[in-house]
């Protein structure tokens, strides 16, 4: 869980959101954050309270005996070529014991420990999970989010879409998978999940967490049912929801949206102070039930 000793104010969380998504640089972020360091709270303490602590967020241990996983390569012919991802599944998965598949798409910083843990949580719940790393063509997730964000900005967004689509196609052919594959993504990954729903007819279900929608023209092509999770305080992403919902309704698409009261962007990520335990648990319970319904 995120460190509860120092709880940053909402304005600091909003500022961090701008920094994390590239709207301001690090110097501007720290300068503005410094003006919030009052009442005995130092800039260093406040800054550290906003950064992820991956040591506190391992809900499923890598050596959990209920699962088996490893990094594996796959081919993205229309994207970056050879790609790498984390494949994890129930321990009894095999040719005679298959499970539905879920591709897990990371945020705007590569395949970090939080996303790996999300994949393991899916395996515990009875799915073959595959989490590709969009940073692999540049050397892979570098071990910290700041460098990961900088690296990911160097990649072409449309090319990354092809890499994630290829990940779905790859998972459909994994022998331990039934071939029924859905997708879940967070932040950038949520936006990618919406795009995959619009561009990949074989996708059976899509769960975008606080991700931007697609255009009305693209929405017309969506075939997979959508389960959309949004945080009430996430004004940046929520600003686009009315138009996206209108497009979904106009095209008679199957969707449900849940708005989580008092929750910030990134509320599912239990490595940061934006984490909202109640909202995250409810959203995850809904996600697992949704996948079991549509991928069985």
pLDDT at 1: 43
Start-end of H helices in the chain? 10-20, 26-34, 43-50, 113-124, 145-152, 157-173, 188-199, 216-219, 235-238, 241-250, 277-295
- Given a contact cutoff of 8 angstroms between Cβ atoms, the answer to whether 262 and 278 are in contact is no
Q: Which two tokens stand for residue 187?
A: 């932040």
Q: Give 138's contacts (C-beta < 8 A, 6+ positions apart).
A: 151, 154, 155
pLDDT at 133: 98
Per-residue pLDDT of the chain (296 residues; tens, 9 = 90+): 444 456 788 998 999 888 888 888 888 988 888 888 766 678 888 888 888 888 776 899 999 999 999 999 999 999 999 999 999 999 999 888 999 999 999 999 999 999 999 999 999 999 999 999 999 999 999 998 889 999 999 999 999 999 999 999 999 999 999 999 999 999 999 999 999 999 999 999 999 999 999 999 999 999 999 999 999 999 999 999 999 999 999 999 999 999 999 999 999 999 988 999 999 999 999 999 999 999 99
- Domains along the chain? 10-51 (no CATH), 55-295 (3.40.50.1820)
DSSP state of 54: G
Residue 58 φ then ψ, to 5°: -95, 85
pLDDT at 3: 42
pLDDT at 152: 95
The C-alpha atoms of residue 128 and residue 190 are separated, in whole angstroms, by 19
Rg (CA), the chain: 19
- Residue-by-residue DSSP string for 82-94: EEEEEEEEETT-B
| Separation of first and last alpha carbons in the chain | 32
Angle at 165 between CA 164 and CA 170, to 5 degrees: 95
pLDDT at 45: 82
pLDDT digits (tens, 9 = 90+) for 66-100: 999 999 999 999 999 999 999 999 999 988 899 99
pLDDT at 2: 41
pLDDT at 158: 96
| Torsion angle (degrees, nearest 10) of CA 168, 99, 206, 208 | -100
How many residues does this entry show for the chain?
296
pLDDT digits (tens, 9 = 90+) for 231-280: 999 999 999 999 999 999 999 999 999 999 999 999 999 998 899 999 99
Which pTM was predicted? 0.92
């Amino acid at each position: 869980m995120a460190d509860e000793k120092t709880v940053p104010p909402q304005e600091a969380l909003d500022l961090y959101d701008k920094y994390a998504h590239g709207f301001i640089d690090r110097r501007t972020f720290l300068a503005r954050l410094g003006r919030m360091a009052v009442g005995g709270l130092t800039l260093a303490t406040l800054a550290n309270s906003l950064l992820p602590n991956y040591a506190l967020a391992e809900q499923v241990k890598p050596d959990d005996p209920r699962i088996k996983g490893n990094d594996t390569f796959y081919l993205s012919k229309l994207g970056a070529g050879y790609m790498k991802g984390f494949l994890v599944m129930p321990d009894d998965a095999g040719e005679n014991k298959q499970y539905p598949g879920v591709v897990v798409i990371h945020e705007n910083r590569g395949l970090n420990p939080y996303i790996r843990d999300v994949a393991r949580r899916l395996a515990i719940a009875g799915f073959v999970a595959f989490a590709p790393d969009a940073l692999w063509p540049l050397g892979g997730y570098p071990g910290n989010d700041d460098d990961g964000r900088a690296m990911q900005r160097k990649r072409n967004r449309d090319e990354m879409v092809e890499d994630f689509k290829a990940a779905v196609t790859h998972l459909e052919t994994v022998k331990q998978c039934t071939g029924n594959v859905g997708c879940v993504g967070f932040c950038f990954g949520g936006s990618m999940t919406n795009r995959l729903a619009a561009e990949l007819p074989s996708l059976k279900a899509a769960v975008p967490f606080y991700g931007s929608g697609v255009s009305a023209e693209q929405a017309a092509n969506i075939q997979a049912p959508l389960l959309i999770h949004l945080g009430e305080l996430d004004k940046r992403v929520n600003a686009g929801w009315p138009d996206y919902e209108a497009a979904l309704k106009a095209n008679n698409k199957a969707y449900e949206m849940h708005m989580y009261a008092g929750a910030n962007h990134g509320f599912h990520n239990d490595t940061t102070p934006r984490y909202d335990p109640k909202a995250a648990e409810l959203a995850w319970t809904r996600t697992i039930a949704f996948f079991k319904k549509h991928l069985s």
